[in-house]
Amino acid sequence: MNFDTTAGEQLAMIKQSAKEFAEQYIRPHIMDWDERQYFPADLFHQLGEYGFMGILVPEQYGGSGLDYQTYVTVIDEISQVCGSIGLSLAAHNSLCTNHILMFGNEEQKHKYLPKLASGQWIGAWGLTETGTGSDAGGMSTTAVKEGDHWVLNGSKNFITHAISGDVAVVIVRTGEKGDSHGMTAFVVEKGTPGFTAGKKENKMGMRASETACLFFDNCRVPAANVLGEVGDGFIQSLKVLDGGRISIAALSLGIAKGAYKAAIAYAKEREQFGKPIAQFQAIAFKLADMATKIEAAELLIRKAGNLKDSGQKSTKLSAMAKYYASEICVEVANEGVQIHGGYGYTKDYPAEKYYRDAKLCTIGEGTSEIQKVVISRLLMEE
């Protein structure tokens, strides 16, 4: 494994491109979007023009055909500026788009991937339900076969892009509740009768990333929209989440880096008792801890990404990366507020937004507790 993440002319160029995009098109608007809870759909069409909406999608389907190391780099750079945009970019790439890429047939791939990879369409992915968060196997939303269609009834909640998404991959129950082979994945297009979205959730952080419920009321979906085999939806989801957890780890990494950079810049310029506060051991040691945890998190993420790129099983490392990176993200953001003192509690400085955005990372795509369940079970199998 090459630990030099700046190696390679192409990766360095993409890293710089993502950084410049974030500075030019995102940074000037972050607080306005945050305050208004505005989801900037047009920005994602622009991200598509840069090739960032289909990073992992092969060129034959209109994507960039790049690897997980590049993907982590892009999510990291965007998230350093705004966690909300990083989150939406990650959800689009690693969940909806990647599910179709991994399990769709050729007809489905050619139909949906070019639109998703170009940013023409925005994707959503639905697994979570109101009564079944971590217990996804107990979902209540059902699909019943009627001729050459399936009829879906129920709802999904906490779905990124539920309102603005042009297409959603949803996993619903087609067998007995609790049966891991009793769930199936469907592609559902916006505008399908009986398929609607609820109100936008009023969130503490990640406010520019749209979150809402999806509702299915006798929603008729063609049998041709089944992804893979009937009954394989839950198993597919677990495999999709291996990559999704690397995404959230990269998101966490970016937010942590952003919070750290803001903190060290402030500590160098803020003076107390005649010198910059960075020169006081109490602050310097905080910065040392923050920097060390960020480095450790990135190495774990890069290792998990390397396993994905080489086609090896990454479940344990993906869970470890997501667990550790998300937890240190919260710690770093918390210390960032502390270093800013009273100003860290105001919206005049970026520390408070990193703090609000960070917490979602320990919850979304499997809580920290679920990651520990995954890790510990796999350790017992070794």
The packing angle between helices 233-269 and 351-358, to 10°, is 160
Q: Are strands 226-227 and 167-173 parallel, antiparallel or unpaired?
A: unpaired
CA distance 206 to 254: 13
The rounded percent of the chain whose pLDDT value lies above 90 is: 92
State yes or no: pLDDT of 116 exceeds 90: yes
Q: Are strands 167-173 and 195-197 parallel, antiparallel or unpaired?
A: unpaired
The pLDDT score that the predictor gives to residue 138 is 84
Task: Give the pLDDT band of residue 81 (cuts 50, 70, 90).
Answer: very high
The pLDDT score that the predictor gives to residue 247 is 96
The rounded percent of the chain whose pLDDT value lies above 70 is: 98
Quick one: three-class SS letters along the chain? Answer: CCCCCCCCHHHHHHHHHHHHHHHHHHHHHHHHHHHHCCCCHHHHHHHHHCCCCCCCCCHHHCCCCCCHHHHHHHHHHHHHHCHHHHHHHHHHHHHHHHHHHHHCCHHHHHHHHHHHHHCCCCEEEECCECCECCCHHHCCCEEEEECCEEEEEEEEEEEECCCCCCEEEEEEECCCCCCCCCEEEEEEECCCCCEEECCCCCCCCCCCCCEEEEEEEEEEEEHHHEECCCCEHHHHHHHHHHHHHHHHHHHHHHHHHHHHHHHHHHHHHCEECCEEHHHCHHHHHHHHHHHHHHHHHHHHHHHHHHHHHCCCCCHHHHHHHHHHHHHHHHHHHHHHHHHHHHHHHCCCCCHHHHHHHHHHHHCCCCCHHHHHHHHHHHHHHC
CB neighbours of residue 161 within 10 Å: 27
Half-sphere exposure of 127 toward its Cβ, with a 13 Å CA cutoff? 21
Average pLDDT over the chain, rounded to whole? 95
State yes or no: pLDDT of 7 exceeds 70: no
**Which residues does the annotation mark as catalytic?**
365
The pLDDT score that the predictor gives to residue 6 is 52
Task: Give the pLDDT band of residue 1 (cuts 50, 70, 90).
Answer: low
**What is the mean pLDDT of the segment spanning 292-316?**
95
Task: Give the pLDDT band of residue 3 (cuts 50, 70, 90).
Answer: low
CA distance 114 to 100: 11
Residues in contact with 75: Cβ distance below 8 Å, sequence separation at least 6, in sequence order? 86, 89, 90, 247, 250, 251, 254
Per residue in 232-257, pLDDT (tens digit) is 999 999 999 999 999 999 999 999 99
* pTM for this model (two decimals): 0.95
The pLDDT score that the predictor gives to residue 137 is 79
State yes or no: pLDDT of 178 exceeds 70: yes
Task: Give the pLDDT band of residue 9 (cuts 50, 70, 90).
Answer: confident
Task: Give the pLDDT band of residue 5 (cuts 50, 70, 90).
Answer: low
State yes or no: pLDDT of 170 exceeds 90: yes
**What is the mean pLDDT of the segment spanning 190-201?**
97
**What is the mean pLDDT of the segment spanning 107-114?**
98
The pLDDT score that the predictor gives to residue 133 is 75
CA distance 356 to 350: 10
334: its two tokens = 């918390």
Return the sign of the alpha-carbon dihedral for residues 308, 312, 318, 320.
negative
State yes or no: pLDDT of 195 exceeds 90: yes
State yes or no: pLDDT of 80 exceeds 60: yes
- Residue keyed to tokens 């109490």: 282
